[in-house]
Amino acid sequence: KEKGKFTLLRDTRTDGSFLVHHFLSFYLRAGCKVCFVALLQSFSHYSIVAQKLGVSLAAAKERGQLVFLEGLKSCLDLLFGEEEQPGQPSPLQFLSGGSCDLRALFDFVRESLSAPAGDSCKGPVLLVDDLSVLLSLGAAPVAVLDFIHYCRVCVCCQLKGNVVVLVHSNEDSEDEENELVVNSLCHHSDLILWAEGLATGFCKDVHGQIKIIKRLSLRQAEQDLVQIYQYKIQDRNVTFFARGLSAAVL
């Protein structure tokens, strides 16, 4: 409901993709125009999960509500010299070595979410899954942070929309570039949803814990509000509960 917010989805020792699927289906049901930069999985994967959540991605694409960038396909097209749309540069143009910045990707986002006259969709939303892949593909941390900065200015400030980004993190990792990006994004986010695997290992009744951090300190002289819950992922939904109140304990 709030506009102009930057939400960071962070996962450590677990897979936080269930949060991406939630936000994708949530915003599409709300009637928002969504630009989904999907760098991790194929369209069919997201479509199958969305169907379980009661949303048709194919129908959303047809009516112009969803703009989907299939990163895996774009990478292959660039590597084999094929153009997705003749005459237009690929959003992942930096892979070809012509430029080290992500301007083409930002231009794709901006053009996708700039509503034409008569567009009935509500506030625009940029969803990225996941940002860490850009680093793996060779983008520099500064380029990735610049991309997110310009997306926040365009989507959150100018278009009064929302940005939701997933990043992987591992506090014990030696990947300094990824941790630099993660820590910087944490400082600039309005809301952090941090999914963590259990320190004690696998449990069939508790799949992990989620830390919800509302960044009150970003705009006010207050401490951040932190809430911690545990969760269990089921076929069509996710159950959240206070720590120590899972079915295994009760």
pLDDT tens by residue, 91-139: 988 887 766 789 999 999 999 998 664 566 788 999 999 899 999 988 9
Q: Residues 199-232: pLDDT tens digits?
A: 887 788 899 999 999 998 777 767 899 999 999 9
Q: What is the pTM of this model?
A: 0.91
What is the distance between the alpha carbons of residues 4 and 116, in angstroms, rounded to a whole number?
A: 20
Residue linked to tokens 């996708």:
112
Size of the chain in residues: 250
Rounded to the nearest 10 degrees, the angle between the axes of helix 141-151 and helix 176-188 is 20
